[in-house]
Each structure stands twice: as C-alpha cells, then as structure tokens.
Amino acid sequence: MRSEAASQLGGLERFASAGKGRGLRARRRFAVGELLLSCPAYVAVLTVSERGSHCDGCFARKEGLSKCGRCKQAFYCNVECQKEDWPMHKLECASMCTFGQNWHPSETVRLTARILAKQKTHPERTQSEKLLAVKEFESHLDKLDNEKRELIQNDIAALHHFYSKHLDYPDNAALVVLFAQVNCNGFTIEDEELSHLGSAIFPDVALMNHSCCPNVIVTYKGTLAEVRAVREIEPGEEIFSSYIDLLYPTEDRNDRLRDSYFFSCDCRECTTKEKDKEKLEICKLNDPPSAETVKDMIRYARNVIEEFRRAKHYKYILCHGFVAFLDFFLPPSELLEICELSLDKMGAVFEDSNVYMLHMMYQAMGVCLYVQDWEGALCYGQKIIRPYSKHYPSYSLNVASMWLKLGRLYMALKNRTAGVKALKRAIAIMEVAHGKDHPYISEIKKELEDH
C-alpha cells in the first residue's frame, strides 16, 4: 500500500477517479495562472532536426553550442550539460558513429531505449515519480489491434538493430508492454510557436486524466514540465489536462482519443456538443446545402486532411523567426495547391470559421512561411486568429502561437503598430500558461524592445 505522504504532493493528491482509474485531485484552491506541479523529465530525446540549435541535454535554444567530439551529432551548452547527458547519450553515440547517415531510430525507440537504461541505473523512484511510477503506466495491451501490434514489433526490431552495446533487453513480451506504455504516456515537447522539439516521459504529469474542458495546461521549460491552472480550481476538484487538439468537433476528438488512448471523453463539452455547430458552421445561403451535402463535405475534409498529412514531413526549422516546414514529400507549390483547391471546394459549403477550413488555412500558412511569402502567410493568419479565439479555450497555446506568428509577420513587414499589439496578445496568454518568468516571454519582450 502506498503511504498517504507518498500519494500527495504539495496541494495535490493521487486518488481513484470514478470511471477513470487513477487521477490527480486538488487539496487546496488554485488561482488562474498558478503553478500546480513541476516535473523534470524521467527521460527525454531532442528531435534530430533541432540538433545544433538546441542543447541535447537541457533543450536550451542557443547559438554556439559545442558538439560531441565522438559522434559530432549531439550538441551541448557546456561541459556540465554534456556530462549530465552522457549516461543517456552513450546509448546512441557509438551507434551513430557506426551507422552514420543510416542511423534513424524513431523518437519512440530512442525514448524507450533511455527508459530501459534508466530503469537499470536508477531502480528506485526518481524525482519525476513522486505520485506515479513509470512501471505503473497503463499499456492498454488488451486493446491493441493487429496493426498497432505490428508497429510495436517494428519498433522492437529497430531497438535491437540500433542499440546493442549498452542495453540489457527484457524478453519480447515485456518490450511490447513497455512500447505500449510509451505510446500512451509519452509527451511531445514544443516551443512557443508549437514547433516540435522532442519527446519525453513525465510520470507525475501523466497521472492527470483528460477532459475537453481542461482546468490546467502543460508547458515546458527545457526538459521540465510545468502544470498551471487556466481557471480557478477548488479543493476536491479533479485536475484535467487535454491530451489532444481541442479545435475539432466532438466526433473527431473522440475518434482521436479512441485511436490513441482507448477511451471516449464524457466531459460537459462532449456530452452537450454545444460548440459543434459553430465549429462546423455552414455558409449562409438562400438555398442552404442539404444535410447529405454537408455530411459528404465533412467526409471530404477529413480525407484531404489525412492526404495532406501524408504528403509532408513533420520536420521544422526556424526561418527568419518563423517556424516552417523543413522537408516535403511534395514540392511546396503542390502542397499549396492542395490547400487552395480544398479551400475552394469546402468554401462552397463551409464558412471560413469552420474548423476544417481553418485547418487547411493553417497548413497553407505554414507553406507560405517556408517559401518566405510573408504577405501570403499573414493573409491566412489574419483569417485564422478570430475563429481560433472563439473555438479554443481561454489561454490556449494555439491562440498564443498564432498571435506570436502574426506579430512577427507584422514586424517583418514593417507594421510595428499591429506587430506590437499582436505580440502583447501572445504575451498575455503566455504569462498565464507559461508563467511570467518563462524565457520565451523574456525573448518576446526583447523583440518588442529591439523593434
């Protein structure tokens, strides 16, 4: 039995949540913007495309990083960061030297390798596991279909292929469980523009259950996860974060939850579906489209979103201060054409504020940023921001990120007045979500001073 002290942390406690299993509950009141929980990463891996611009150890964004003398592919702030990361980096260093350009395990494989190494060197509970241990993670093994099981076996094969020198492998059945646990409990670390920086395991943060009406938000300070209240939380109230993008209507959100996390949400928003009509807004015409036409267009929108996802890589660069796509399966001109054609077709039925229209506008904006078409990117961003502010919850990182992109675009196009206004809107949200002392906020305020 866990002791009462072991199940509590500050003003929080672990408890049995009705119908949800384990959960996290408030033991005192928390105000909007207040920090509930900080959790260092149990393990973390920097995404390959960010090497050289971010430290592999602490994820700090800096210029003039020093590279590992052996593999020359990992970069660090200083000797201290390199020494601290060595127990994990040594899993990859020799292998990277051996395979060269052919070294390409997925982030899931890299993360799992680090968990195996960590469990061997630190069998006791770590600072990241005050409320929940990694070994307690749900795997939902009984819910995996054949396709998911095959993907896990592919990951296991990659683990054996790329990691041999420093790992002791458990048997295949144990590895299947571990990969399933990572898939359900891993976190994506993102920067202020929601660009992917890496993946990590934050056990205590994973204790929180999901709601499409969350009362907290998770942000990152390097490899430290921070959880802050986005509305007032009373004693005895369960702490809920969101596992998914909340832009989409109820059916889409629950499809994603069932596919990735094996449950459906029963929060107020999912029960009432009160925002779905606005999110799926139809053109106001004298002869409105039939229900069947609308259903067909929703089906088309979902298909084209999936087609677009397959057509591009999810790698990013920082281009003149903006996040942009790095590599494409298709040329940017063809991707932009896909966006524009789909927007034209959907626009015959959907209003611009419809979430499927917004999704394709966002993709088009990303392509414009990549080809440095600042005016085109700004045009899409201006259409996106107001509906985003309506569809997303208060203090949404998606809204803050869009204001930030707009602010930087305005500044690049010499519209300082609009740029200052947009950047201040981003800061107002981020001061609640990230905390007023976050380095990202300091960087944005410096941008304002420099302009």
Is residue 174 scored above 80 in pLDDT? Answer: yes
At the top level of CATH, the class of 22-241 is mainly beta
> 442: which 2 tokens?
């300091």
pLDDT tens, position by position, 236-247? 999 999 999 999
Task: Please report which confidence band the pLDDT of residue 312 belongs to, taking 50, 70 and 90 as the band edges.
Answer: low
Average pLDDT over residues 345-353: 97
State the CB neighbour count (10 A cutoff) for residue 145: 8
Average pLDDT over residues 71-84: 96
pLDDT tens, position by position, 208-240? 999 999 999 999 999 999 999 999 999 999 999
Task: Please report which confidence band the pLDDT of residue 6 belongs to, taking 50, 70 and 90 as the band edges.
Answer: low
Tell me the domain boundaries of the chain. Answer: 22-241, 244-277
Is residue 65 scored above 80 in pLDDT? Answer: yes
Contacts of 237 (CB under 8 A, 6+ apart): 25, 26, 215
Task: Please report which confidence band the pLDDT of residue 308 belongs to, taking 50, 70 and 90 as the band edges.
Answer: confident
Task: Please report which confidence band the pLDDT of residue 319 belongs to, taking 50, 70 and 90 as the band edges.
Answer: very low
What local confidence, expressed as pLDDT, does residue 320 receive?
38
Residue whose entry in the numeric block shows the structure tokens 């420093």: 166
**pLDDT top residue among 366 and 312:** 366
Is residue 131 scored above 50 in pLDDT? Answer: yes
Single-letter residue type at 102: N
> 363: which 2 tokens?
């993709």
Is residue 155 scored above 60 in pLDDT? Answer: yes
What local confidence, expressed as pLDDT, does residue 165 receive?
77
Distance between CA atoms of 422 and 402, rounded to whole angstroms?
9
Task: Please report which confidence band the pLDDT of residue 1 belongs to, taking 50, 70 and 90 as the band edges.
Answer: very low
Contacts of 154 (CB under 8 A, 6+ apart): none
Average pLDDT over residues 328-351: 89
The model's pTM: 0.92
First to last CA, the chain: 58
Is residue 321 scored above 50 in pLDDT? Answer: no
Which of the residue ranges 52-56, 118-122, 149-153, 270-274 would you say has the lowest mean pLDDT? 118-122
Mean pLDDT of the chain: 92
Q: How many residues does the chain have?
A: 451
Task: Please report which confidence band the pLDDT of residue 332 belongs to, taking 50, 70 and 90 as the band edges.
Answer: confident
